[in-house]
Amino acid sequence: MGNCLKINSSDNISLLRGGVSDSNNAQDYVGEQRNAPYIYSELAQPIFFPTPSVSRPASHLSEEEQVKIAKRMGLIQHLPIGTYDGLKKSKKSRECVICMMDFCVEEPVRYLPCMHIYHVRCIDDWLMRSLTCPSCMEPVDAALLNTYETT
């Protein structure tokens, strides 16, 4: 799945330029991207995962797949968001297991029904692919629906 951190474009530029990394090359590369053909505009479209192993741009999804993704997004939005307070001292509760980065105090986190916490961006991206907790593999949708049935 990978890391939820943004990639610094200069890192990619140095790889494309054969390891040479200076600001002029970076500026040239940015200029090249602006003048790039419309083919690259397809990369800016959101990519969705109708099933965990299949990814497609939003424009290539069937109506049924779009409805399924909309339902999944609605389900994710019902999961509570809080801020990390830093009070829990165990290693497991200090780190997002998806991106492997420590939580910062006052950082937004999302709570799953199994009480595991993750960065909002990390877990939202994960849940769009698979509706299971990355730590305990508990199905999030079933647990969330059970909480509505008991209240």
Q: Where are the domains of the chain?
A: 46-78, 81-136
> What are 116-127's pLDDT values in tens digits?
999 999 999 999
pLDDT value at residue 135: 94
CA atoms of 18 and 13, how far apart (whole Å): 9
Residue 107 CB partners (closer than 8 Å, separation 6+): 83, 84, 119
Strands 47-51 and 81-83 turn out to be unpaired
Q: Which two tokens stand for residue 75?
A: 């389900």
Q: Which two tokens stand for residue 45?
A: 């479209």
- Report whether CATH 3.30.40.10 matches the domain 81-136: yes
Residue 66 CB partners (closer than 8 Å, separation 6+): 58
CA atoms of 3 and 13, how far apart (whole Å): 19
pTM above 0.75, yes or no: no
> What are 77-110's pLDDT values in tens digits?
999 999 998 876 555 678 999 999 999 999 999 9
